[in-house]
């Protein structure tokens, strides 16, 4: 049996340099949310704090808490 559950990244992903595929490897992040993150980064420049992810549609406090251990700036 195969599982649809994603395996989280083994190391930290740079929020400021990650590709859409890398962002999609994060727990709870699909293609649409990953694209929103890239769009936000393009419009606003580099992230200075992981909590800026709360400005992304579909990224509330719980979602940010879920992905934060896998991210670095």
Q: What domain range includes position 46?
A: 13-72
User: What is the per-residue pLDDT for 61?
Assistant: 95
In our burial notation (b when 16+ CB lie closer than 10 A, e otherwise), range 23-34 reads bbbbeebeeebb
Q: How many distinct structural domains can be found in the chain?
A: 1
In a domain, 35, yes or no: yes
CB contact at 8 A, 64 and 53: yes
CATH number of the domain enclosing 23: 1.10.150.320
The rounded average pLDDT for each run of 10 residues, N- to C-terminus, in the chain (73 residues) is 62 96 95 97 97 94 96 96
User: What is the per-residue pLDDT for 10?
Assistant: 81
User: What is the per-residue pLDDT for 56?
Assistant: 95
In a domain, 6, yes or no: no
In a domain, 30, yes or no: yes
User: pTM for this structure?
Assistant: 0.88
CB contact at 8 A, 37 and 23: yes
User: What is the per-residue pLDDT for 4?
Assistant: 54
């Amino acid at each position: 049996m195969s599982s649809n559950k994603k395996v989280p990244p083994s190391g930290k992903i740079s929020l400021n340099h990650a590709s859409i595929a890398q962002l999609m490897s994060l727990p709870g992040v699909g293609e649409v949310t990953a694209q929103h993150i890239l769009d936000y980064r393009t419009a606003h420049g580099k992230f200075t704090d992981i909590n800026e992810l709360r400005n992304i549609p579909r990224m509330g406090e719980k979602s940010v808490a879920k992905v934060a251990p896998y991210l670095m700036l």
